[in-house]
Amino acid sequence: MLDYNLLQKAPEKIKAALTKKHISVDFKSIQDLDKKRRELIGVVEGLRAEQKEMGKTIVSATDSEKEKRLSALKSLSEDIEKKKADLDRVLSEFNNLWLQVPNVPADDVPDGVDDSQNVEIKTWGDKPQFDFEPKSHEQLIESLDIADIDRATKVSGNKFYYLKGQGVILEMSILRYAMDILVKKGFTPLSTPDLVRREIMYGAAHFPPEDDAYALERDELFLAGTAEVGLAGYHKDEVLDGKVLPARYCGISACFRREAGSYGRKGGGLYRVHQFNKIEMFALTNPEKSEEEHQFLQATAEEIIQSLGIPYHVVLNCGGDLGLPQYKKYDIEAWLPSMNGWGETGSCSNDTDYQSRRLSIKYRTDDSKTAYVHTLNNTAVASPRILLPLIENYQQRDGSVKVPEVLVGYTGFDTIKPV
């Protein structure tokens, strides 16, 4: 969440953030409730101070005075409880709205309503030139027999899949390959929980709203959409030694997304699915190093996709394509020959102190004060999404798919052949 002080010191920044991110919140009600909140806090604190002073006088009072003061103290306690109840009600109403207010985006975030208005800032790699009609990933997974969508639909419904045979080995190889790169760079691997509490979903700013997640209502747990949620909650309510920053983690987990709605051509096959596997980078750093860390995470993700030999471009996300916590975000989009276009394979976000305020994660500064850390996250690899540009770009005339050289030591084979 944002610092409450912005409501008094810079409300125009919040209004500008709502406009740039195209988010509708009743800002006037937030300001009114904040005023009531601060007034009631002052009243309750004043009454408690009065209660404390009155309590001190009872010991030295005469019997007759003591009885009067005890009666007055009881009345004062009742007033405090009433005001506390009023404060709790106002706080609840205020927080419900305040949690919907997004992080203020960076100045260089472009204007735009959705991902069609993201701005390309970099391209890498040569697009393959085929002397045959390239197949789509849907055609390739069928001819190579490396996935089965029809049977998964029978078992689990739409947007589920089985990876099969060499497809499983290829996925596991990519995940392990990416993990090895991250470990060498000093990231600590974590296998994160797939189920998390509601407070962690709110803390990571994946709530509100709550209707985007799969819920286990009986147990009050939710399936996480990304390892970022578990990684964000890892240091909840802690004060870190500033000397350990940046603290870098790479989380491996299953991910669960509703992926509601229609996405046209990109919605088919393995592009948008309800369940997938991912390795997520997550960093906690001090504010002064926040932008530097963002660039480091982005460069690391690019290093991985470059080493796989997959052409891609990088876009800077516009305001309308930023989520609640995001201050600034880059997307890596890989080249998909079958669509003659780009498809997202990962995102790199700087959330500044938006998550850490919700989760109460601080660090101790050199002068022994405490401040909120900045949190950042980035996709190392997500599968099966990463498999799509890989098999499409590496397909051969005979219908086979070559395995990138860096993965052969992991897969044990250098080619996947049609069955």
What tokens appear for 216 in the block? 């286990």
Closest by CA position to 94, among listed 32, 141, 144: 32
| Unique residue bearing structure tokens 């850490």 | 356
Sign of the Cα pseudo-torsion (366, 369, 370, 375, in order): negative
Cα–Cα dist 199/374, whole Å: 19
DSSP label at residue 317: P
CA nearest to 275, candidates 385, 139, 176: 385
Beta bridge partners, 206, equal none
Q: Where are the beta strands (DSSP E) in 286-373?
A: 312-316, 328-336, 341-350, 362-364, 370-372
- The closest of 298, 291, 283 to 247, measured between CA atoms, is 283
List 236's β-bridge partners, or say none.
none
Phi, psi of 245 (to 5 degrees): -85, 145
**In terms of DSSP bridges, do strands 401-402 and 312-316 run parallel, antiparallel, or are they unpaired?**
unpaired
Instruction: Say whether 329 sits in a helix, a strand or coil.
Output: strand
Please name the helix (run of DSSP H) or strand (run of DSSP E) that holds residue 409, with its range, or none.
Answer: helix 405-411
d(C-alpha 278, C-alpha 196), whole Å: 17
Residue 335 to residue 312: CA distance in whole angstroms: 5
> So which residues are the catalytic ones?
257, 272, 344, 347, 385
* Integer angstrom CA distances of residue 173 from 37, 129, 277, 405: 54, 27, 12, 12
Number of Cβ within a 10 Å radius of residue 345: 25
